[in-house]
Amino acid sequence: MKIALISDIHGNLEALEAVFAHIDEQGDVEEVICLGDVVGYGPNPEECADLLSLRCKTTLLGNHDHALLNAPLGFNRIAAGSIEYTRRIMEPGLLPDGRKQERWDWLKSLPERHMLGKDLLVHASPRDNIFEYILSDDAHYAKEKIFSIMAMIARNVYVGHTHRPGIITEEPRFYTPEEIGMSYEFEPDEKLIINVSSVGQPRDRDPRSCYATVTDDGVTFHRVAYDVEAVIAKFEANENLDSRSGERLREGR
């Protein structure tokens, strides 16, 4: 069974549509799971929520989704401003609006974790499902942190949150998708931390959307080009959005 894992959409509809088209072209993906951060930064949080609720078997709660439903604590000014704007357009008001209410209820229903056989799926980390960053550098500078995370999982854990793709092995060592030729074949009894990166705001200096497909045998990373300039134009046309969040998409940072 082949499953697509997408994450960190951040209201980028052009990127999300391109990734779904890429998934559909493969013809053998049986389900799509989203690891969270539907909203935040981008111009189309409502449209992304609608598409994800329609197409994904499961969507998990990310830290930006959590901030929208609660408060953007610990967020920088740009991220917090984006959450406040997103709340103004998405939160149901006093006038009845069925679709807005449905979308809000769907966001409130998102779980923090999901099991796929023995594999754990979370937005951020097994220790703190929504907020903790597992960084590539942790494989070098924070080995105890990685050992503690590995001790909590039965097999692989799939995460997003950092917007940077890659695999951390039990040694621990970190590999980018390029270093493993975009695919990795699982060894028996091995545990891995696998970051599927981001559809809507990759930060590894490659502006193309990133996601992963998983089978019993291994994981494959995919990069998908989309119309970045169309999204940047939406940022420029909307005074409520921060244009720097648009410009970073061009460089993938």
The footprint of Fe ion (CB under 5 A) covers 8, 37
Distance in angstroms (rounded) separating the CA atoms of residues 248 and 16: 17
Nearest residue relative to Fe ion (C-beta) = 37
* Measured distance CA(59)–CA(167) in Å, rounded: 22
Tokens of 194: 């696998």
Nearer Cβ to Fe ion (191/193): 193
For 46, the token pair is 């409502």
- Compute the chain's Rg from CA coordinates: 17
Q: State the Cα–Cα distance between residues 114 and 121, nearest whole angstrom.
A: 5
Task: Give the rounded distance of the alpha carbon of 218 from its chain centre.
Answer: 20
Q: Which is nearer to Fe ion, 14 or 37 (CB)?
A: 37
Least separation in angstroms between CB 163 and Fe ion: 6
Query: Closer CB to Fe ion, residue 111 or residue 181?
Result: 111
Please count the residues of the chain: 253
Angle between helices 77-90 and 98-108 (to 10 degrees): 130
The minimum distance between CB 210 and Fe ion, in angstroms, equals 12
Closest CB to Fe ion among 60 and 120? Answer: 60
Q: How far is the CB of 188 from Fe ion (least distance, A)?
A: 33
Smallest distance from the beta carbon of 97 to Fe ion, in angstroms? 27
Indicate the residue among 159 and 219 with the shorter CB distance to Fe ion: 159
Distance of closest approach, residue 60 Cβ to Fe ion, in angstroms: 12
